[in-house]
Amino acid sequence: MKVITNIQDLQASIQQVKNSGSSIGFVPTMGYLHEGHLTLAEEAGKNNDTVVMSIFVNPLQFGPNEDFDRYPRDVERDAELARNVGVDILFIPEVVDMYDGKQSVTLSVIERVEVLCGRKREGHFDGVVTVLTKLFHLIQPTRAYFGLKDAQQIAVVEGLVRDYFFPVEIVRVPTVREEDGLAKSSRNVYLSKEERREAPSLYQSLIEAKNRIDAGERDPDSIISMISMNVQENTSGKIDYVEAYSFPELAELSRLQGEIIIALAVQFQQARLIDNIIISVEPEEDSNV
Amino acid sequence: MKVITNIQDLQASIQQVKNSGSSIGFVPTMGYLHEGHLTLAEEAGKNNDTVVMSIFVNPLQFGPNEDFDRYPRDVERDAELARNVGVDILFIPEVVDMYDGKQSVTLSVIERVEVLCGRKREGHFDGVVTVLTKLFHLIQPTRAYFGLKDAQQIAVVEGLVRDYFFPVEIVRVPTVREEDGLAKSSRNVYLSKEERREAPSLYQSLIEAKNRIDAGERDPDSIISMISMNVQENTSGKIDYVEAYSFPELAELSRLQGEIIIALAVQFQQARLIDNIIISVEPEEDSNV
């Protein structure tokens, strides 16, 4: 595995890979790797000749009150994990190189963003699409891998790629979970022991929602109320949101139908957890016919 | 020469070219080709295995009072000219395909834009970088060719490519001129006979500016006044601007020094003409030393 920190070195390596006709699977990360990231890399390895992973804690996607400075970093451990999982090129650029001097052109996300986490994280997805545009151009991936845990990110990235015809296939990879259902996340380390015991309720509530939809429920408000009550009863966390939308358009629904996402965010003492399920819902039978 | 109007067909053709390892020279145009465009295509042919030209009158870069509807179009003639000059793929997409549905991510130019034509054409360069980002992704050129006649466009595009690490080399091609010095342009057809006789004064004024700078003049205001008077005396056109900046940063200068652009725009009855020179100016000797 090559570890590259310099942009010119990366461009030279990528050019070599492209010239050889190899496909490139790309896994963008902010480091502090967990099984979720490693699953993305494994998926990338299955369908591509070369796997490139980036580690870059992107300041532009953190808000003024968010955890850029205390976002966990452990590059040596990350490098070992990446090597073990078959990453060929590990790209760890410097902030000053990725944002070199005065930027003259900005990217803004204007759809799929005023919902879920985007509503409360002004500018977050602008930062995401900005850094991904840079990384896509530097790495020129055949396929890029994103976890469905951050489903809004996938929705936004699919919008970016669609709007601008990026020559890359976005691969949606299912959320990796602990045995008790808790979605893996770098932020789980901030949970207290008690909170860690409570946290699986988030996913359990989503599964219960799916069961009720399977049984015929089509009213979004009823599903959202059930989840909210469930989380309130079973955790000490404070609900940021529980919402349901079409996916990946993230448009509001009067009835649950088609490809939908049900997503939630819960603030614990030191960690804000998110989770979601994406399900395909049959249209309801019209009882009047 | 292949003429392609469908985006999927283009993507398939480009993939074929890329797989063969060929380099791609790209010439984006709005059609109604003149020698300026053909020179770009010839330059592209000299250094690339495959030449792709696009013809797309991009609605997003026209303002509400600009000439989108009456921008001249003649695709059959263009195709013949393109074929004769060695274009391999002529891409003529539809507006509805290039702007398919609701765009979720927008591009905005925030530097190099509040000067020259950009100041009076709000949103124009947003439209330019938007369509070029799409075209760069669709065509994946090794090199893209732009005429120095629209020098601000080159400055903005170089900013775009630099900010986002587009894997493309921007090639600046000198302005093609009529024998009397008038810069070639699709809009020249709108000049009256009298205006056409006057129009070479624009370039002559710029050459006179260069001569004075060569002779030691370093005061921007003095140069700009000279050009303005010269154009006013020798044409019936109305000056939009005469300006001097560093290039390609387009930053203001208190003294003329380094790479600079001197640019002007003059409104005639039915045509607005632009021209510029880019010159390298020696630092002035300090007479006090």
Looking at residue A225, which CATH number applies to its domain?
Answer: 3.30.1300.10
pLDDT value of residue B72: 83
Is the residue at B76 inside a domain? yes
Is residue B161 located within the same domain as residue B199?
A: no
**Residue B133 and residue B243 share a domain:** no
The whole-number pLDDT of residue B288 equals: 53
- Cβ contacts of A120 within 8 Å, gap of 6 or more: A240, A241
Give the tokens for residue A20.
């050889």
Helix (H) and strand (E) counts for chain B?
10, 10
Q: Is residue B29 assigned to a domain?
A: yes
Do residues A167 and A212 share a domain? no
Test A108 with B110 for CB contact under 8 angstroms: no
- Please choose, from the candidates B116, B180, B181, B174, the residue with its C-alpha nearest in 3D space to the C-alpha of residue B149: B174
Cβ–Cβ under 8 Å, residues A243 and A250: no
Interface test with A, best of B11, B14, B105 (most A CBs within 10 A): B105
Higher pLDDT, A35 or B191: B191
Q: Indicate if A202 and A242 belong to the same structural domain.
A: yes
- pLDDT for A283 equals 84
The CA R_g of chain A, rounded to the nearest whole Å, is 20
Instruction: Give a yes or no: residue B283 inside a domain.
Output: no
State the total domains in chain B. Answer: 2
Confidence of residue A286 (pLDDT cuts 50, 70, 90): low
From the list A131, A163, A224, A273, the residue with the least C-alpha distance to B101 is A163
Predicted model pTM: 0.92
Buried b (16+ CB within 10 A) or exposed e, A155-193: bbbbbbbbbbbbbbebbbbebbbeeebbbbbbbbebbee
Q: How far apart are CA A137 and CA A129, in angstroms?
A: 12
Contact between chains at A160 and B104 (C-beta distance less than 8 A): yes
Instruction: Identify the residue whose tokens are 């207290």.
Output: A192
Does residue B178 lie in a domain region? no
Judge whether B250 and B261 are in contact, CB under 8 Å.
yes
Residues A27 and A164 in one domain: yes
**Cross-chain Cβ contact B106/A102 below 8 Å:** no
A100 to chain B: which residues are within 8 Å by CB?
162
* pLDDT digits 0-9 by tens, A175-220: 989 999 999 887 899 999 999 999 999 999 999 999 999 999 999 9
Identity of the residue in A108, A112, A133 whose CB atom sits nearest the CB atom of B106: A108
Co-location of B197 and B131 in the same domain = no
Q: Does A102 touch chain B (CB under 8 A)?
A: yes
Q: Which of B7, B106, B111 sits opposite A104 (nearest CB)?
A: B111
Tell me how close the Cα of A262 comes to any Cα of chain B, in angstroms.
Answer: 21
CB distance B163 to A105 below 8 Å: yes
**Residue A289 pLDDT:** 46
Q: Residue B87 maps to which CATH number? A: 3.40.50.620
DSSP SS3 for B275: strand
Closest by CA position to A245, among listed A117, A142, A122: A117
Write out the catalytic residue numbers of A. 37
Tell me whether A111 touches chain B (CB under 8 Å): yes
Among chain A residues, CA nearest to B105: A109
Catalytic amino acids of B? 37
CB contact under 8 A, B105 and A21: no
The pLDDT score that the predictor gives to residue B289 is 46
Q: Are residues A11 and A150 in the same domain?
A: yes
Closest chain A residue by Cα to residue B97: A163
In this prediction, residue A35 has a pLDDT band, given cuts at 50, 70 and 90, of: confident
For residues A92 and A138, membership in a common domain is answered with yes
User: Chain B: residue nearest A109 by CA?
Assistant: B105
**Is residue A179 included in any domain, yes or no?**
no
- B289 falls within a domain: no
Span A263-270, mean pLDDT? Answer: 97
- On whether both A9 and A30 belong to a single domain, the answer is yes
| Residues A138, A97 share a domain | yes
- Please report the ipTM that was assigned to this predicted complex: 0.91
Range of the domain at A260: 186-275
Q: What residue ranges of chain B have pLDDT lower than 70?
A: 286-289
pLDDT value of position B97: 97
Collapsing DSSP states into helix, strand and coil, what is residue A99?
A: coil
Residue B284 lies inside a defined structural domain of this protein:
no
Q: Which of A123, A140, A173 is the last residue of a domain?
A: A173
* Within a domain: B180: no
Per-residue model confidence (pLDDT) at position A118: 87
Helix axes A7-19, A124-139, angle to 10 degrees: 50
Residues A43 and A105 in one domain: yes
Mind listing the pLDDT tens digit for each residue in A59-114? 999 987 777 888 888 999 999 999 999 999 999 999 999 999 889 999 999 999 99
The domain boundary residue, chosen from A141, A173, A205: A173
In contact, A250 and A114? CB cutoff 8 Å: no
User: Which chain A residue has its CA at the smallest distance from B129's CA?
Assistant: A105
Distance CA B87, CA B27 (A): 9
Q: Between chains, do A107 and B107 touch, taking CB under 8 Å as contact?
A: yes
Domain boundary among A121, A142, A173: A173
| B103 and B162 inside one domain | yes
Give the tens place of pLDDT for each residue, A208-222: 999 999 999 999 999
The verdict on a CB contact (< 8 Å) between B167 and A134 is no
CB of A55 within 8 Å of a chain B CB? The answer is no
- Check whether A33 has a pLDDT greater than 60: yes
Cβ-defined contact of A103 to B163 (cutoff 8 Å): yes
Partner residue facing B163 (CB), from A21, A105, A111 = A105
